[in-house]
Chains A and B, each alone.
Chain A
Amino acid sequence: MKRRRERIDRGIKVRSEDIFALCSWREMLYLAFPRLLPIVGLILLSFVLSIYWQKVLLSVSVFALLAISWDILAQTGMISLGQALFFGMGAYLAGIMNHTWGLSPFITIPVATVSGGLFCTLLLLPVLRLRGIYFSMVTLILPLMLVRIVEATKIFGGTEGLSGLGALPSRWVELYTVILALLAALFGLRRLMGSDFGLVLKGINDNDRSVMSAGINIYWFKAQALFIAGSVGAFAGAYMTHVYMFVGMPVFALDYSILPIAAAVVGGTGTLAGPMLGAFILVPLSEILRGLGGLRIVFYGLFLVVFTVALPEGIFHYIARKYHQFERWVEVDT
């Protein structure tokens, strides 16, 4: 019997895009594996990690959410330099609701998620017409401005912030809230971006004149993308408020804007999974390098440079390509 090598996805690729006529458990496993990996991986991690690393996982998930939110905007042609705006908005809204009315985190988090997304959209509505770097500049400046407003007017606790806020009931609820949110965001938004609605968003990025001439109000669609991305970011902020039991000016810090972009670039933009993967590499790396003190930033920067130079497409695209090239032995009739 002669044998030759062929790509595992061969049989799958020749069939139509969405309809899988799976013939074997191997093909099924081949398709299911990348989808199951994040689910099983996150659940396993939550059990094997020490309490300290569980906290890191929590912070990783928050940055992963911010990176996914960044990628949604990037795919619509809006480069955000101000993910801290979404994060800080959600954080403050949850904190204020908990502080003034004593509402439980199970109410403040969802309400802050939606209203945070809405406020951010309204704030950025006037600049939706700006293209490229002009839009980016405004997103960069807004969180910095909000910090100064809190500082100057002494509202919401001023420089002190609001402390003694309600916490989530237990460590496990805390961890699983963010894990579930991350998985929901990943799979839900990937599905959305693969739908016809997502196609319109990507069309705006690719050629907005062509979308306009198709009778579509691109500003309405950009606003919807902003709302989605803003809500995801606001969720992350609201959640962290109840983890820290505190909200203050640091929630508008530049870290929350820059790290998600770095994660998206390292992981690979345009897929949502890439930016998430990037966060899962960069945040723990930053923790590991903590021992290096002042040199930490140097090594961190070096890593970023090496990675972007070596794999400019991003890790996710690289892995996905390799995965599709997996081969198997098949028997050939002679």
Chain B
Amino acid sequence: MSSSPILKVSDLSKQFGGVRAVNHVDFKLTKGELLGLIGPNGSGKTTIVNLITGFVKPTAGEVYYKDRKITGWAPYKVVRLGVARTFQMVRPFYQLPAFKNMIIPLYSPRVKGLAGGKYGDRDAVALDLLEEVGFERDSFVAYKPASVLPQGYLKRLELAKAIALQPDLLILDELFSGLSLAEVASIVPIIEKLRMEGKTIIMIEHRLKELFRIADRIIVLNFGEKIADGKASEVMESEEVKKAYLGTEAG
């Protein structure tokens, strides 16, 4: 089984009206791999995440997860199989304390199923998970309402909500955007640790320097099409990739 991919996306396309957001994209992902998905704004990265996690139904093509066809499945069913994602735009429950924000994922059937039908003490688990992503326990920051937390903590909270689902495949949509260098530097080890635990990870990032340091492989999208796929160093050599990035930089 080790040879069969954990995720296979084949000939995936999505059209919004006249916009071809994703156009005939193919790729496979082996277990334990960390894939960086990059491309200019509007190149279809988030749409691919939405297609895999069931938030958007494809116009054409298939998604396979652990050899199972999950194309067009409802998001909650995809999560049950072990795929978790974060959102580019974080929208926590602002009036609730950070740790109470964790209750909803901890309430999900996936968590209950993995715990053998028991939920356990959700508040305690929530606090443990938040500590894992950098909510220092002695600072009591986990008890503060989300409305007063800085962006860095909100992103960590978003990450903790996804980790709470104990996923095998974790998809992070621009987790680093809006964060300072120091904040990014403090989150990188958390992701490396998740990887050591054997999780397969897809990271969508604009912070290429940080991404290239941890990613095994990079896929570049432009106008919904995959224009490069390979090691970071190889990919950035490609003329097409240079053009795509220069193109957006220039205009």
B79, A215: Cβ atoms closer than 8 Å: yes
Q: Does B118 make an interface contact (CB < 8 A)?
A: no
CA distance A203 to B74 in the complex (A): 18
A216, B76: Cβ atoms closer than 8 Å: yes
B75, A213: Cβ atoms closer than 8 Å: yes
Known contacts A199-B103, A203-B93; A215 and B122 CB within 8 A of each other: no
A216, B55: Cβ atoms closer than 8 Å: no
Q: Does B108 make an interface contact (CB < 8 A)?
A: yes
Q: Does B14 make an interface contact (CB < 8 A)?
A: no
B100, A214: Cβ atoms closer than 8 Å: no
A213, B87: Cβ atoms closer than 8 Å: yes
When distances are taken between beta carbons in the complex, the residues of chain B under 8 Å from A203 are 93, 104
Q: Does B91 make an interface contact (CB < 8 A)?
A: yes
A215, B76: Cβ atoms closer than 8 Å: yes
Q: Does A209 make an interface contact (CB < 8 A)?
A: yes
| Minimal beta-carbon separation of A217 from chain B (angstroms) | 4
| Minimal beta-carbon separation of B147 from chain A (angstroms) | 13
A196, B122: Cβ atoms closer than 8 Å: yes
Closest B residue to A204 by beta carbon equals B104
Q: Number of B residues whose C-beta is below 8 Å from A?
A: 28
Q: Does A223 make an interface contact (CB < 8 A)?
A: no
Name the one of B87, B96, B100, B164 contacting A210, with C-beta atoms under 8 angstroms. Answer: B87
Name the one of A196, A212, A215 contacting B109, with C-beta atoms under 8 angstroms. Answer: A215
A200, B75: Cβ atoms closer than 8 Å: no
Q: Does B107 make an interface contact (CB < 8 A)?
A: yes
Name the one of A196, A202, A212 contacting B107, with C-beta atoms under 8 angstroms. Answer: A196
Interface centre among A210, A212, A213 (most CB of B within 10 A): A213
Q: Does B105 make an interface contact (CB < 8 A)?
A: yes
Q: Does A206 make an interface contact (CB < 8 A)?
A: yes
A212, B165: Cβ atoms closer than 8 Å: no
A211, B104: Cβ atoms closer than 8 Å: yes
A214, B161: Cβ atoms closer than 8 Å: yes
B165, A214: Cβ atoms closer than 8 Å: yes
A200, B87: Cβ atoms closer than 8 Å: no
A206, B104: Cβ atoms closer than 8 Å: no
| Minimal beta-carbon separation of B241 from chain A (angstroms) | 30
CA distance A217 to B76 in the complex (A): 6
Q: Does B80 make an interface contact (CB < 8 A)?
A: yes
Known contacts A209-B55, A212-B55; A217 and B74 CB within 8 A of each other: yes
Known contacts A215-B165, A216-B76, A217-B76; A207 and B110 CB within 8 A of each other: no
CA distance A218 to B104 in the complex (A): 11
When distances are taken between beta carbons in the complex, the residues of chain B under 8 Å from A209 are 55, 87
CA distance A34 to B171 in the complex (A): 47
| Prevailing SS type, chain A contact patch | helix
**Chain A, range 182-240, C-beta contacts under 8 Å to B:** 196-197, 199-200, 202-203, 206-207, 209-218
Known contacts A203-B93, A209-B55, A210-B87; A215 and B103 CB within 8 A of each other: no
CA distance A200 to B111 in the complex (A): 15
CA distance A209 to B109 in the complex (A): 17
A196, B76: Cβ atoms closer than 8 Å: no
Name the one of B80, B85, B122 contacting A213, with C-beta atoms under 8 angstroms. Answer: B85
CA distance A216 to B111 in the complex (A): 11
Closest A residue to B105 by beta carbon equals A214
B80, A215: Cβ atoms closer than 8 Å: yes
Closest A residue to B53 by beta carbon equals A213
When distances are taken between beta carbons in the complex, the residues of chain A under 8 Å from B53 are 213
**Chain B, range 61-115, C-beta contacts under 8 Å to A:** 74-76, 79-80, 84-85, 87, 91-93, 96, 100, 103-105, 107-111
Closest A residue to B113 by beta carbon equals A215
| Minimal beta-carbon separation of A182 from chain B (angstroms) | 28
Known contacts A196-B122, A199-B100, A215-B79; A210 and B107 CB within 8 A of each other: no
When distances are taken between beta carbons in the complex, the residues of chain B under 8 Å from A199 are 96, 100, 103-104, 107
| Minimal beta-carbon separation of B126 from chain A (angstroms) | 11
CA distance A209 to B55 in the complex (A): 8
When distances are taken between beta carbons in the complex, the residues of chain A under 8 Å from B109 are 215-216
CA distance A225 to B160 in the complex (A): 28
When distances are taken between beta carbons in the complex, the residues of chain A under 8 Å from B92 are 210
CA distance A112 to B53 in the complex (A): 41
When distances are taken between beta carbons in the complex, the residues of chain A under 8 Å from B110 are 215
CA distance A217 to B54 in the complex (A): 12
| Minimal beta-carbon separation of B210 from chain A (angstroms) | 24
A207, B108: Cβ atoms closer than 8 Å: no
Known contacts A207-B91, A209-B55; A214 and B74 CB within 8 A of each other: no
B108, A215: Cβ atoms closer than 8 Å: yes
Known contacts A199-B103, A215-B109, A216-B104; A210 and B75 CB within 8 A of each other: no
Residues 158-195 of chain B: 1 if any A CB is under 8 Å from the residue's CB, otherwise 0? Answer: 00011011000000000000000000000000000000
Name the one of B85, B87, B108, B164 contacting A216, with C-beta atoms under 8 angstroms. Answer: B108
A residues contacting B by CB (< 8 A) are: 196-197, 199-200, 202-203, 206-207, 209-218
B residues contacting A by CB (< 8 A) are: 53, 55, 74-76, 79-80, 84-85, 87, 91-93, 96, 100, 103-105, 107-111, 122, 161-162, 164-165
| 7 contacts across the A-B interface (CB closer than 8 A) | A197-B107, A203-B93, A212-B76, A213-B87, A214-B108, A215-B75, A215-B109
